[in-house]
Chains A and B, each alone.
Chain A
Amino acid sequence: MATDEVLEQKRALLIERRELADQGGGEGRIAKQHDQGKYTARERIERLIDPGTFIEFDKFVTHRCVNFGMEKNKFYGDGVVTGIAEINGQKVAVYSQDFTCWGGALGEAHAKKICKIMDFALDNRIPVIGIQDSGGARIQEGVDALGGYAEIFWRNVKASGVIPQISLIMGPSAGGAVYSPAVTDFIFMVDKTSYMFVTGPDVIKTVTHEEVTKEELGGAATHAEKSGVAQFKCRDEDDCFERVRELLAYIPASNFRKQEPRYTADPVYRDNSKLKTVIPGNPKKPYDMKEVILDVVDEGQFLEVHKDWARNIIVGFASIGGIKIGIVANQPEVLAGVLDIDSSCKAARFIRFCDAFDIPIVSLVDVPGFLPGTVQEYGGIIKHGSKLLYAYAEATVPLITLITRKSYGGAYDVMASKHIRADVNLAYPTGEIAVMGAEGAVNIVFRHELAGLTGEAFDKKKAELVANYENNFANPYVAAERGYLDAIILPEETRKRIYEYLRVLKDKQVERPERKHGNIQL
């Protein structure tokens, strides 16, 4: 009889503790969180993953700090919920910081929980998703908290390029804490409720006397449009979860295994007749490269990364015939599609991510060159432009390049040309591969012929020379004659040709000489 009672008591204790852990910081704080338009840590996990698949770890972990009377103030879970779940059937490791417990501040136990789940993910080769909502380090824990952060950062780096790491910033992330998301592959920020900065507005005011609000300094809009720190800006938390699910549909679980093709009902051999008229005959007229992308990929579905930053280059994920690819494309509508500091950095990082995870890259090129100006030169366009070149040259994934119109000068070399070992180089009949455009070239090459002329005679001679140049050089045939292009294709064949190449390149194997790592210009 007594043993039954004892057993009952023990069961009841467990259930009671479970419920207590679920409460987090208590009803009051949960209500406050909701008032601000934010979900609690557990609600976020529930909404992100496939329903009913969450397995929690370390529900009852607590801190052991005794400074400042902290031993009286403990929460089960220590302010973070960690565990394994499934998204679209793919196992992932998730951790979600709980703002209702001391503002989500990080302490030793909190960090240990995160490290444990990250180790688990690395050992089992599954992606890690971290939901950041934290006020920073727990001052009471002192160096233990700082050490905790570093342990996390070290693991971020250890896992970088092995498993995809995704950070969702759904609240404050300030000071040292931002370095964990910074190392991760993708950062999602929620508009109006999330912030990232190294030093906050108060400190800035005292040191540099600048007045700036949290939103302006490090809100989602700032990081998505100005600094490029965040790859995705989401309307609200639900939208954020959906975008994460969408992203995970395109990237593999780890670098260990190649991805399976995804299901698509879009026939591979359909004509892209829309593309026949997208590229205007007049080379001075811009066009929307996104239209080209959307017509070629499956069902017009394209997940754009860094949508609002460096818009003169487009990067994102899509699939063709079910084969998942990364797309890098110049956007002639913005800054005429030139390469500059921001766009070089944006594309380079994306290319290196795809290379790390075996995702083939399709590049659509229409680039007149690099952006001139002192801003660019003083900003180090030399360094940043070289990043893009390095990324392409280093990549051993299948690289398919399609030159739709212009490809001039150094930018021709940089944008996955044959010479830096792209696998397949294609061009449309409207392709123009040259050192520079006709106008500029004529001015230099025929300087003497044009020297003595003025007025109408000058215009006439120049027009003649320009036309001559265009006929002879502003076309893809010179490059094709040398074998620098593998084929010149018609716009309507784009999709099926790219699919055929992708199928062939599926099993590409290339060796590179052993080294600890290269010295990419950072």
Chain B
Amino acid sequence: MRTYLIDDEGKELVIDLTKTKVHSFDNVEYNYSTIQDNQIVNEQVVHVRKLCGQYFVSTDKVAWKKIPRQDLPSRMINVDTVYNIFRGFKPSGLGGADEGELLTKMPGKVVKINVEIGSEVKKGETVLILEAMKMENEIKSGIDGIVKAIYVKVGDTLEENFLMMEVEAN
């Protein structure tokens, strides 16, 4: 089971609980590893047991340290970085897909093209206007980049899922 740590800039660290072994009712072993950019960067085994109503941890079952009483915090600080903690799943709605390929979402007619091949575009900039269902749809670039290819011209009537333009990240 994974716990996602996402800092305020959107950078992500994943802590994976790879194995849980129950030795006895008050002594459990957890195998953790940290994954960053799809690479495992740290692995460790942590033992937890309860003593006098408090929880103690150890890495070698000999030296024990008390852990402060807290339920799963929603935020944890590592020196100067604040992480939002998500246990078990990364919530939807956080972070979007980067779109460099611009496909039509519905049939329509191209009425205006704002860029040329080689133009520099920013994420969210309107590159093309498509008229459909009596609405003017502004097609926006999903990423910062340079227009690599334009496959349509003004006046074209397009079907759904037609690849209109490609933007390459720079």
Contact present between A and B (CB < 8 A)? yes
Beta-carbon contact of A245 and B135 below 8 Å: no
Given A285-B136, A336-B133, A336-B134, A301 and B91 touching (CB < 8 A)? yes
Determine which of A243, A302, A303, A335 lies in contact with B106 in the assembled complex, contact meaning CB atoms within 8 Å: A335
Q: Mark B53-77, 1 if CB is under 8 A from A, else 0.
A: 0000000000000000000001100
* A-B pairs, 5 with minimum CB distance: A336-B133, A242-B89, A51-B20, A301-B91, A246-B89
Beta-carbon contact of B91 and A265 below 8 Å: no
Given A52-B20, A333-B105, A286 and B136 touching (CB < 8 A)? yes
Beta-carbon contact of B88 and A245 below 8 Å: yes
Is B94 an interface position by the 8 A CB rule?
yes
Is A294 an interface position by the 8 A CB rule?
yes
B98 to chain A, nearest CB (A): 15
List the interface of chain B (C-beta within 8 A of A): 1-2, 17, 20, 22, 28, 30, 74-75, 87-94, 105-106, 132-138
Q: Which residues of A contact B133 (CB under 8 A)?
A: 335-336, 338, 368
Determine which of A242, A303, A311, A338 lies in contact with B88 in the assembled complex, contact meaning CB atoms within 8 Å: A242
Is A334 an interface position by the 8 A CB rule?
yes
CA gap between A470 and B30 in the complex, in Å: 66
Q: Which residues of A contact B93 (CB under 8 A)?
A: 294, 297, 300-303, 318
Q: Which residues of B contact A286 (CB under 8 A)?
A: 135-138
CA gap between A301 and B4 in the complex, in Å: 14
Closest chain A residue, CB of each to CB of B129: A285
Q: List 17 A-B contacts (CB under 8 A).
A: A50-B1, A52-B22, A88-B88, A243-B92, A246-B91, A284-B136, A285-B135, A285-B136, A285-B138, A294-B93, A297-B93, A301-B94, A303-B93, A318-B93, A335-B106, A335-B132, A336-B135
Is A378 an interface position by the 8 A CB rule?
no
B150 to chain A, nearest CB (A): 21
Q: Which residues of A contact B137 (CB under 8 A)?
A: 286, 333
Beta-carbon contact of B1 and A47 below 8 Å: yes
Beta-carbon contact of B135 and A332 below 8 Å: yes
Q: Which residues of A contact B105 (CB under 8 A)?
A: 311, 333-334
A267 to chain B, nearest CB (A): 14
Beta-carbon contact of B92 and A51 below 8 Å: no
8 A Cβ contacts from A297-328 to B = 297, 299-304, 311, 318
Label chain A's interface by main secondary structure.
loop
A127 to chain B, nearest CB (A): 15
Closest chain B residue, CB of each to CB of A300: B93
CA gap between A285 and B89 in the complex, in Å: 36
Is A263 an interface position by the 8 A CB rule?
yes
CA gap between A65 and B41 in the complex, in Å: 51
CA gap between A249 and B72 in the complex, in Å: 15
B168 to chain A, nearest CB (A): 24
Q: Which residues of B contact A302 (CB under 8 A)?
A: 92-93
Beta-carbon contact of A304 and B92 below 8 Å: yes
A154 to chain B, nearest CB (A): 32
Beta-carbon contact of A303 and B135 below 8 Å: no
Beta-carbon contact of B135 and A284 below 8 Å: yes
Closest chain B residue, CB of each to CB of A51: B20
CA gap between A335 and B75 in the complex, in Å: 40
B7 to chain A, nearest CB (A): 14
Q: Which residues of A contact B75 (CB under 8 A)?
A: 265
B10 to chain A, nearest CB (A): 12
Determine which of B30, B92, B138 lies in contact with A301 in the assembled complex, contact meaning CB atoms within 8 Å: B92
Q: Which residues of A contact B22 (CB under 8 A)?
A: 52
Q: Which residues of A contact B136 (CB under 8 A)?
A: 282, 284-286
Beta-carbon contact of B28 and A52 below 8 Å: yes
Q: Which residues of B contact A311 (CB under 8 A)?
A: 105
Closest chain B residue, CB of each to CB of A246: B89
Q: Mark A13-31, 1 if CB is under 8 A from B, else 0.
A: 0000000000000000000
Q: Which residues of B contact A88 (CB under 8 A)?
A: 87-88
Beta-carbon contact of A243 and B91 below 8 Å: no
Q: Which residues of A contact B20 (CB under 8 A)?
A: 51-52
A521 to chain B, nearest CB (A): 26
CA gap between A245 and B135 in the complex, in Å: 39
Beta-carbon contact of A334 and B106 below 8 Å: yes
CA gap between A200 and B37 in the complex, in Å: 40
